[in-house]
Structure 1
Amino acid sequence: MGVYTAAKNYDLPNVDLLTLLFESPIIKSNEDTPLHIEATQPWNIVTKSQARTYTKRIAYHLRNSFGIGANGPGKDVVVCISSGQVLLPIAFYGVIAAGGVYSAASTAFTHLELTRQVRQGGSNLIIASPDCKEVAIRAAKESGTPMNRVLILESTGSQRVLQDVERRGPNFLAGEAKDSEMLDWERITDPKALEESLICLLYSSGTTGVPKGVLVSHTNMVSEGLLPYLMNQEWQERERAKDPNFSFQYRTLAHLPAAHIAGVQGYFVNPALAGGPVYWMPKFDFALFLKYNKTYQITSFFTVPPIYLLIAKSLLVTDQFASLVHAVSGAAPMGPELQALAKQKLGCHVAQTWGLSETTGSFTVSAWDDHDDSGAVSSLMPNTRMRIVHDDGNDVPEGGEGEFVCQGPMVSRGYFGNEEATRESFLPGGWFKTGDIGVYRNGKCYIVDRKKELIKYKGLQVAPAELEALLLSHDRIQDAAVIGVPDPDGSGNELPRAYIVADKSKISEEEIKSFVKENLAQHKQLRGGVVWLNAIPKSPSGKILRKDLRAMAKKEAKAAKL
């Protein structure tokens, strides 16, 4: 079996997530370190000490008023649907401290989608931000959840509210904290208990089907937080060796949905380790994103290719990123062309990472002084191993394309209540079949595309991501997505079709096709045509919703036959 291993391994402590965040000497934050700050009103701050107190208060009321964790940990699911706010991470901590399971729901959900998630987890408690109140109420009625078990969390403008939606019960966060109304979390040091724990359910984006609940443990989140953190500490040591006066202060901006792994791990966990604040935006707004980066001198952020595309193409970008030291892209591969354009605008290197909800986020990572511009999604995270396999499960020769199969402490054990899906994707020995096709070359990982999204033309595979990267490099194309459409001749071939956001008066279909012809092989040509759209359909995490484009293409084909 051909196994690729990470260049380095670290000894990680056997510790639960909350003990790591609030008590471990490893991390940088002090008691008075601001961890969460409202970007709109920066005087609204939650320090590490306050976060610990609020965590224990919320845990107490979840346990004593709603029975969360009363019958043991990892059994009671609490669904949370909230836009970005400073107490959202504390709700996450509080659910875990009570012994519950935090189930993150997208603010883009309809009430039927939220109902499905509530039912799937067997939950009877919903926490919502005020802007998600109506969706939460409708989902509660649909799922049979009593109204006194729908709680509104409000922490904007220095408010501190956790109260039932009808405001008949007490505000659990009102007044001063009482020692008698605080619940401490269970400290866990047993490796098996940590690995088998269930503290969070993360749902896949559902771009190709019904979302599945990914089981996330203490071990998953602790390792996913500590490994990049330890790498970053070594980077800082290398910089100080070159310049004794070097110093770095971590500051990031929460602008992505907090229901996805990038938000849960990236905003709830990692900044607390790094000892710097998260400035919270309730939702993404590009103009405000630029403003806050400049105002708060953001030094590091993770974001997705659509936002890098905005940065690369927007005339609004001037000096807003002068303080930025490190930028990371994920959720989908980004071509070297867009990577170079974004780097030019940002003034710092743009690294790429790769991972899934099932790997608790990043499975590949680059040291901050490893400036690779080849389009790689970085090297394997420390403490991990990977195989690259054919459809038959056999390993491909080194340098060949195949499905990435991963093993490491951040890899989930499976899907919640879905043994069949778990058997299909999770193999003995802790290996996970990712469904992503890629190549391992010179110690770097390169993603070709999703296994289910590859276009097959005359027996040859065409990666939509490669075509999209090329199209986005054209200065008259604002955005692009590619899918395969059936060849009308009935041959079974799929023809690449491009969906384009551009001014049709400035670029024609023939010009686009000629551009592709000049740069890519014969079998990768846009034989399926070019279609103009006002916007490319995308999930809240920035992934292209190809299923929507396929439905559109199917509808167009049906109409053409009439």
Structure 2
Amino acid sequence: MSSYDEKPWLGIYDKEQPAEITPEFTDALAMFAASVARNPDGDAIRYFDGRITLRELDELTDAFAAGLLDTGVTPGDRVALYLQNVPQFVIGLVGTWKAGGIAVSINPMNRERELELLLKDSGARVLIALESLHRDVAAKIVGRTAVQTVITTSELEYQTTGDERVFAGVERVRGENTVDMAELIDRFRGRRPPPVSFTPGDTAFLTYTSGTTGPPKGAMNTHGNVVFNSQAYRQWCGLGDDDVILGVAPLFHITGLIAHITVSLLLGVPLVLFHRFEPAVAIDTIRSERPTFTVGSITVFIALMNAPNADPDALASLTKIWSGGAPIPPSTVKAFSGAFGQYIHNIYGLTETTSPSHGVPFHAEAPVDEASGALSVGVPIYNAVVRVVGDDGRDLPAGEIGEIVTIGPMVVPGYWGKPEETAAAIPGGALHTGDVGYMDAAGWFYIVDRKKDQINAGGYKVWPREVEDVLYEHEAVREAAVVGVPDAYRGETVKAFVSLRPGRAVTADELIGFVKERMAAYKYPRQIEFLDEIPKTVTGKLLRRELRARERT
């Protein structure tokens, strides 16, 4: 028996925490229904001065599901959500489930080429989008996809007074050939869709990840995955009926989907939303709504710490904080604790693990590796067995570095429509994460690097080839290589090395602007360096590792 089978990390658990938990529900809808029955008049969503109770959310999602069915949605159809952190995301998600569908979460920063790729890959028949995103992006490409119905909405809905820092310049822009979400709900208000029943193996939503091997893949997060990790958050983070969840993570991301939406549906507690993250607005929201729990990237907490209106009283209620998605400098945890008195617990997981696979238990503090200065990402959560393996696939002993491999009820069964990629990344249900790290003798895990070339910019994953492909579209570019380089704020940022065609000229700012127009904001290069020749192997392969090494010397 290996040290991983013996689970040395169990000794780190809080004494009141079980070693394993059992799913209480078969699917996410049953989880939500139990909360509605238990606390119908409790707040489900708080959005600026707007409030939606659990009873109202149940009625809104019933009506929306009936509307989806009227458009022709059938069980198993995909419904894409192209929205910011607004109540309509939750309504769209739960309504899709009530119609028997599968939700597809899409980053609102995606531009035409990215949105088109995801809509085509998922085969989504319905797109729910903010009016502005439809006008500026979706209207240009939906005709080339399987989308038959476009439902639009506005961030101005479900609140009345607004906040000029968030809504300045926002106007209603009803698109041609679109259905207004509020009108659709009003038309079917009072209707109840036919009951649906999911098994734990049915897909709840597709979340897209670039993974470690190329273009985006739709991870099939099942209802069983969702229920299990929602309960895991509840137990691991010590959450109960009196908690209030602050929605700082993007709802399209697996962290926002689980740590914000489905945990709130399980607990029947308020989810506080404020459209999109703006530090001063977040501070005021925390001060007024008194949330107790959140999970966000470390850049969120750096921004809160540096907000002009931040003070210990403003964040006093926020006593249960976890951060994941990007490496956390121990100095930042210390500085935040010194400024506000709260400890930031590390947490680690992937889209393919439906949010957490590891975490620092509540009331515990993560150790720091003396050699590298890395902060531990925690220990495996309930029911998870995590191994560190060598290139030969064999378990490595404690202290040795290898690839992290995770097995457990949080791991997705595969990627949508991609059996070969599934077999390569999740053979026999064991997720090969592509992250390199080690376990110490006590059972704490540390991530030290990524196996491939993926860039992690403030928790957002960037695949270099995708950026390079856009750079190659510029007439002046001969060759391009993109790497991640250290960044004090984002942890890592995107840098492009470019060689130009003979006789052509372009400035770094012009190239940055060219890519910025064509890609999501987190993907375009912040730095460009011009070289006469990009370093390559004798076979012509770009030597990204050499370029990265140059940046770290």
Normalising by structure 1, report the TM-score. 0.73
Q: 1:207 to 1:308 in 2, by over 3 A?
A: farther
Matched residue pairs, number?
456
1:172 to 175, 178, 184: 184
Q: What's 1:143 paired with?
A: 145
Q: Does 1:280 align with 2:273?
A: yes
How far residue 275 of structure 1 moved from its aligned partner, in angstroms, is 3.3
- Residue aligned with 1:337, SS: helix
Q: 1:544 to 1:385 in 2, by over 3 A?
A: farther
Identical-pair percentage? 22
In 2, are the aligned partners of 1:77 and 1:124 still within 8 Å (CA)? yes
In 1, are the aligned partners of 2:366 and 2:377 still within 8 Å (CA)? no
In 1, are the aligned partners of 2:124 and 2:146 still within 8 Å (CA)? no
CA distance in 1, matches of 2:532, 2:45: 50
Q: What's 2:506 paired with?
A: none
- Residue aligned with 2:452, SS: helix
CA distance in 1, matches of 2:200, 2:354: 15
Q: What's 2:121 paired with?
A: 120
CA distance in 2, matches of 1:426, 1:33: 40
CA distance in 2, matches of 1:164, 1:543: 24
Matches within 5 A, 1:229-378: 229-233=234-238, 249-313=242-306, 316-319=309-312, 320-374=314-368, 375-378=375-378
Show CA shifts across 1:139-166 (max 9, x none): 21332645xx1111346343799x9853
In 2, are the aligned partners of 1:85 and 1:282 still within 8 Å (CA)? yes
The residue type paired with residue 86 of structure 1 is P
Matches within 5 A, 1:416-431: 416-428=416-428, 430-431=429-430
2:51 to 39, 45, 54: 45
Q: Does 1:55 align with 2:56?
A: no
Q: 1:342 to 1:168 in 2, by over 3 A?
A: closer
Matches within 5 A, 1:325-474: 325-374=319-368, 375-428=375-428, 430-441=429-440, 442-453=442-453
Q: What's 2:220 paired with?
A: 215
CA distance in 2, matches of 1:559, 1:210: 23
- Residue aligned with 1:20, SS: helix
The residue type paired with residue 383 of structure 2 is N
- Residue aligned with 2:366, SS: coil
Show CA shifts across 1:476-531 (max 9, x none): xxxxx9x9xxxxxxxxxxx99655679xxxxxxxxxxxxxxxxxxxxxxxxxxxxx
CA distance in 2, matches of 1:49, 1:496: 47
Q: What's 1:528 paired with?
A: none
Q: 1:501 to 1:431 in 2, by over 3 A?
A: closer
1:183 to 193, 197, 220: 193
In 1, are the aligned partners of 2:206 and 2:220 still within 8 Å (CA)? yes
Q: Does 1:32 align with 2:25?
A: no
Q: 1:453 to 1:338 in 2, by over 3 A?
A: farther
How far residue 223 of structure 1 moved from its aligned partner, in angstroms, is 0.1
How far residue 544 of structure 1 moved from its aligned partner, in angstroms, is 7.9
In 2, are the aligned partners of 1:340 and 1:373 still within 8 Å (CA)? no
- Residue aligned with 2:294, SS: strand
How far residue 366 of structure 1 moved from its aligned partner, in angstroms, is 3.1
Matches within 5 A, 1:98-113: 98-113=99-114
Q: What's 1:18 paired with?
A: 29
Note the aligned Cα RMSD (angstroms).
Answer: 3.6
How far residue 310 of structure 1 moved from its aligned partner, in angstroms, is 2.5
CA distance in 2, matches of 1:342, 1:119: 43
How far residue 273 of structure 1 moved from its aligned partner, in angstroms, is 2.4
Show CA shifts across 1:255-299 (max 9, x none): 332111011112221122233211211111111112111121221
CA distance in 2, matches of 1:267, 1:361: 11
- Residue aligned with 1:19, SS: helix
Structure 1 gap ranges (5+): 237-247, 455-463, 470-480, 484-494, 503-533
The residue type paired with residue 552 of structure 1 is I
Q: 1:369 to 1:309 in 2, by over 3 A?
A: same
How far residue 557 of structure 1 moved from its aligned partner, in angstroms, is 5.7
CA distance in 2, matches of 1:228, 1:500: 29
Q: What's 2:528 paired with?
A: 552
The residue type paired with residue 361 of structure 1 is S
How far residue 10 of structure 1 moved from its aligned partner, in angstroms, is 1.7
How far residue 353 of structure 1 moved from its aligned partner, in angstroms, is 0.3
Q: What's 1:241 paired with?
A: none
CA distance in 2, matches of 1:274, 1:424: 36
How far residue 60 of structure 1 moved from its aligned partner, in angstroms, is 1.6
CA distance in 1, matches of 2:533, 2:258: 43
Structure 2 gap ranges (5+): 11-18, 161-171, 369-374, 465-482, 491-511, 536-553
